[in-house]
Structure 1
């Protein structure tokens, strides 16, 4: 790092946390930690980058597996990363899974919202933690970041039971007011906890930036809490270190809204070095193996907003389940209804279909309506498997011709290049795999395979 840790920040840390400040500042001058989380739906014979593995993350619950690496490899040159077999995520950010049992769900959440979701680390983790029947709305207002969010969720789970929106939180409130069992706000912040991996966080930091972030966070939280139903849970997270954006922000919520804190102190006992305050959990670089993270949980105790009345909205166009049932590469007839949206066929639950119809009526920007099971890209030729389907258990890859590629050929495919094969393959759609994991599709003409890997996702190195 060329930019030193800001002196004003050092003073603030010394005043707020005198017993820890020196270690935190010293850690900010060391290399960042590197960790990844495995996709439970992508079983592998051997873990990715096992030669660099440097300890498993001990605070993850059963069913969630992650570990640290000794150094950071070039993940972009690993086809398994492109296939969604794992997600590169800071171990501190994974504490969302550690506190899950502390939320004491009386019944499974029906509707969850990740309000500031890009690039998708916490949304992919939420999708693994939430029951399959829970509808997750992942939102990101910035277009470029929203595209990354879509890619990560599609590759992680096909974006199943997930609607991805690209809206200002204020615009989402009329759609979701008083309706969510869970709202996660991973708030835009001053980024102090990321300063050892982000040079820009050092250059941009100032006391004024903190003040600006506090104003933005309050504006987002005003909308977030309006979208909660009574007894709904608000999770508030940042990757910064100061009190104004962390504990004091939670106190502001308690002062202005009918909610109570959920005690997370027991979670701190399971995370070596975690620091619990009366409000939430602090994870600091140099104290915990990971970057900076703050997390607090609150429960709404009274009615703040009543849900909007369900309007009779124009329904989406249903697809023929009979036609889909005849497709050999679908493992079963989807239990939910299927709808035609553009060139794609989406599997949607009734709740998702109603929410999408209302979102359309309100002219909200929907980046992805959910799980696309098929495409009608060449309508005259009938249905083809979608890219998302390859990343979902519904896909019967054994029913598709497949071509397993070695590393260099897989990278060529990910770059969008056409492939050739010495042994003629069956004409038509072919699944391209690496280490048995589907990467995408190609169209075989016999000895040549035309690349169907989505252009926005293609490797550029």
Structure 2
């Protein structure tokens, strides 16, 4: 690989005798790994036993674990687990191995309020969600609009119920969430030196000037993160670059500016020392007592505003008519009596009592005709751009309620009354993911009632179907078909 001359000189000076080993790592194969989603895997059986069964069907041996992350394993490039139905069902997330170190270092506890400040495409957010379980709040933010949509799709695929996806800069978030979060992940935009093998274009974009620009931006983002963190809280700062200016120097700046913080741990992952592309992580802890029981938030501030959920933009207030200003859409509203009747009919016929009650007793909000259940820890998002406000339950159409794919992927098979369970090797399984109807077998005809049914594969939720006679009409989203 032809590395930038200035990069080589800088790294030779920094690494000394290790330079040759570092350079040699560019000639090796890239390391790839997958991390299992414990929101879906390991609930009914022992986690090791369940993972072993899935890995066997993927044809991937379990002989090499990612030692710094839970339930993560390396795999050979020819296995292509991203093309398997299990991937589309959110049983695991494919992630660069060393990048798994950051969320593992933060490891938030259930019930915490957690912010992933630079979250796309979602590797660290989905990993953080496995620590939270279904308790607490995860705000996943991405400043780039297109990348925030990809982030939202991954949140959906992994069946996360308590996440809000925002599309903002760190200054705007700071104004909304002062002294709010218990834990913050800052995977800062960087010069991407650890991406040279994976993305050759990163080599062409690298320069000393860009390193300096990135370092200045990283300091700004960290300052804003500090303003959003509660006393006793934790920030984990990470990059995928080797630059001292963007790593140790940024941490040194931050500690000088914020003397109420201390470094608990700081570590580099090098491609010539660990099996990964490289990463830098630092755990910063604010002094004080961390109070985890302050989950109440003013209910009157739950009038969430959204841009992308409704698909419309409606300027209002002082921002109306001004160019280059952020504007918001109409306020979300509560659910009407007629719609509540339609929802209750669906819930009573389709879901178990406990799951139905979890939905109907939560904070339900309408965005146009779309229904969302907000996280139990509610926040004031007025004026923010929101891609996903908790769990998307479904859409009200003329005289009926249609459940969302998000709801399907958030359900366990034992939370639905009507189930069609397919085997991974069944020819109908591939057909379902490609949009085909499912013909019921004789045993399934006896079990399935007319109406909405949760289609599962090997006991894991895959999507919705609608039973009519011996056929299950396919409701797998058209935009996700033909990926397998």
1:129 — aligned with what?
131
Please point out which of 400, 406, 410 is paired with 2:429: 410
> Residue 74 and residue 66 in structure 1: after superposition, are their counterparts in 2 closer, same or farther (change >3 A)?
same
> Where does residue 370 of structure 1 map in the other structure?
390
Deviates more, 1:223-232 or 1:338-347: 338-347
* 1:365-400: CA deviation from partner (whole Å, max 9, x where unpaired): 11111123x32443513x444322222356645511
SS at match of 1:141: coil
Hey, what's the Cα distance between the residues in 2 that align with 1:6 and 1:54?
A: 38
What's the offset of the Cα at 1:149?
Answer: 1.0
Counterpart Cα distance in 2 of 1:242 and 1:82: 36
Partner of 1:300: 286
For the residues of structure 1 that align with 2:83 and 2:190, how far apart are their CA atoms?
31
1:54 to partner: Cα distance: 6.0
* TM-score (ref. length: structure 2): 0.78
Aligned counterpart in structure 1 of residue 97 of structure 2, from 91, 95, 100: 91
Q: 1-side partners of 2:402 and 2:353: how far apart?
A: 14
Matched residues in 1 for 2:60 and 2:12: separation?
A: 35
Higher helix share goes to which structure?
2
Q: 1:439 to 1:394 in 2, by over 3 A?
A: closer
Q: Over residues 152-184 of structure 1, what are the superposed CA-to-partner deviations in whole Å (9 max), with x where a residue is unaligned?
A: 11221x331111111122211111112111111
1:122/1:349 CA distance change after superposition, 3 Å = closer
Residue 231 (structure 1) shift: 2.1
Structure 1 residue ranges without an equivalent (≥5) = 265-279, 304-308
Identify if the C-alpha distance between structure 1 residues 401 and 186 changes in structure 2 by more than 3 Å, giving closer, same or farther. Answer: same
Within 5 Å, give how 1:246-395 maps onto structure 2. 246-264=247-265, 280-301=266-287, 312-313=300-301, 315=303, 316-317=333-334, 323=344, 326-332=348-354, 333-334=357-358, 337-342=362-367, 343-352=369-378, 355=379, 358-360=380-382, 363-372=383-392, 374-381=393-400, 383-393=401-411
1:403 to partner: Cα distance? 4.9
**Cα–Cα, structure 1 residues 241 and 331, in superposed 2: closer, same or farther, change >3 Å?**
farther
1:123-158: per-residue Cα shift (whole Å, max 9, x none)? 1111112364321100112122112111111221x3
The equivalent residue for 1:26 is 24
Match of 1:66 among 50, 67, 72: 72
Most deviating of 177-186 and 294-303: 294-303
**Cα deviations across residues 316-337 of structure 1 (Å, max 9, x unaligned)?**
5158599376344145021852
Q: What is the CA–CA distance in structure 2 between the aligned matches of 1:397 and 1:21, rounded to whole Å?
A: 55
Deviations 1:60-107 (A, max 9, x none): 46xx31111132433342010111011111221222354347xxx8x8
After TM superposition, the structure 1 stretch with the greater mean CA deviation from structure 2, 48-57 or 245-254, is 48-57
**Once the 2 structures are TM-superposed, how far is the Cα of residue 216 of structure 1 from its aligned partner?**
2.2
Q: Kindly state the Cα deviation for residue 50 of structure 1 after the two structures are TM-superposed.
A: 5.0
- Deviation string 1:335-359 (CA, Å, 9 cap, x unpaired) is 852403234443334532xx1xx21
1:388 alignment partner, SS class: helix
Question: Residues of 2 paired with 1:459 and 1:39: CA distance?
Answer: 23
User: 1:393/1:451 Cα in 2 relative to 1: closer, same or farther (>3 Å)?
Assistant: closer
Counterpart contact for 1:237–1:296, Cα < 8 Å: yes
- Secondary structure of 1:133 counterpart: coil
Task: Describe the SS at the equivalent of 2:27.
Answer: coil
Mapped partners of 1:146, 1:263: distance in 2: 31
Partner Cα separation in structure 2 for residue 437 and residue 212 of structure 1:
45
**Alpha-carbon distance between aligned partners in 1 of 2:279 and 2:413, rounded to the nearest angstrom:** 37
Can you list the C-alpha shifts for 1:215-253, whole angstroms capped at 9, x where unaligned?
Answer: 222232232222112222111000111101110011111
- Residue in 1 that maps onto 2:118: 116
Distance 1:365 1:187 in 2: 20
- Select 2:54's aligned residue among 47, 60, 67: 47
Partner of 2:35: 37
Task: Give 1:148's aligned residue.
Answer: 150
Q: Distance in 2 between matches of 1:432 and 1:206?
A: 51
User: 1:415-426 alignment to 2 at 5 Å?
Assistant: 415=434, 417-421=435-439, 426=449
Report what 1:452 is aligned to: 475
CA distance change for structure 1 residues 144 and 437 in 2, over 3 Å: closer, same or farther? Answer: same
Residue correspondence of structure 1 range 195-234 to structure 2 within 5 A: 195-234=196-235
> Which moves more between the two structures, 178-187 or 224-233?
224-233
User: Which runs of 5 or more residues in structure 2 are unaligned?
Assistant: 43-49, 290-296, 304-332
Structure 1 partner of 2:452? 429
User: Number of matched residues?
Assistant: 423
Q: Contact 1:397 / 1:431 at 8 angstroms: preserved in 2?
A: no
